[in-house]
Amino acid sequence: MKFENSVTKYVGAQIRKYRKARGMTQKELGFRIGVKHNTISGYESGTNEPEQNILFAIADVLGVSINDLFPSPTNVEPVEPKFARIPVLGTIACGEPILAEENISEYIYMPIDRLPSGKLFYLRAKGSSMEPTIPDGSLVLIREQPEVEPGAIAAVLVNGDTEATLKRIKRQGDMVILMPDNPEHEPIVITPDNPARIIGRAVQVTQLL
């Protein structure tokens, strides 16, 4: 979709206005829709023309209508989305399905062609137990599944299904051990008195620098 130069600059100015109004950096907006921050800079300066599907993603992340980005109503037709909206889990409500709306803190848009198959969600790593593999603060893409192979990193519900942790799965006979990658942290042995439940497998780690 091509725009006249003046409209492109107007759209860029609108993107900048709504982004700043939400206290979001170019890097954060780019991460949310799956592009680099210098691409966002190009959109805002009017030197790059965002594709239609990108505009829909930007509008959704900024919480505005796509028409708010244009100087007047346009004949933009909806297109099949090329982005997937991936939930980020926050506080987990006891008894609720893991992807219940109450558990979701935000959504991140990612290009569909960069994603694996399956039902996906993000967890934000907290602490140093999985360093250096997963640094503190990283966003970890999880594919929802009830079991993982030994040695894989899993998202595991602990503390009465109210907290999700990331650990490597080790099996010794019938015993399951949650292993940290950081040797300064202790393994967690799963017992009837200390139960846990696997909710997915880590498939991708992203750091927002």
Contact residues for 60 (Cβ-Cβ < 8 A; gap 6+): 85, 109
What is 5-69's CATH number?
1.10.260.40
Q: Is 129 a catalytic residue?
A: yes
Among 2, 9, 17, 167, the one annotated catalytic: 167
Task: Tell me the per-residue pLDDT of 44-62, one tens digit each, with 9 for 90 and over.
Answer: 998 988 988 899 999 999 9
Average pLDDT over residues 101-117: 82
> Region 71-80: what's the mean pLDDT?
53
Q: Where are the domains of the chain?
A: 5-69, 114-206
Strands 139-144 and 197-206: antiparallel
Identify the CATH homologous superfamily for domain 114-206. Answer: Umud Fragment, subunit A (2.10.109.10)
Instruction: Give the C-alpha separation, 3 to 15, whole Å.
Output: 15
SS (H, E, C) 133-197: CCCCCCEEEEEECCCCCCCCEEEEEECCCCEEEEEEEEEECCEEEEECCCCCCCCEECECCECCE
Q: How confident is the model at residue 3 (pLDDT cuts 50, 70, 90)?
A: very low
Q: Does 6 participate in catalysis according to the annotation?
A: no
pLDDT of residue 6: 75
Q: Which of 72, 119, 129, 138 is catalytic?
A: 129
- How does residue 173 score in pLDDT terms, banded at 50, 70 and 90? confident
* Pairwise CA distance, residues 32 & 199, whole Å: 24
Name the residue with tokens 């909206």: 85
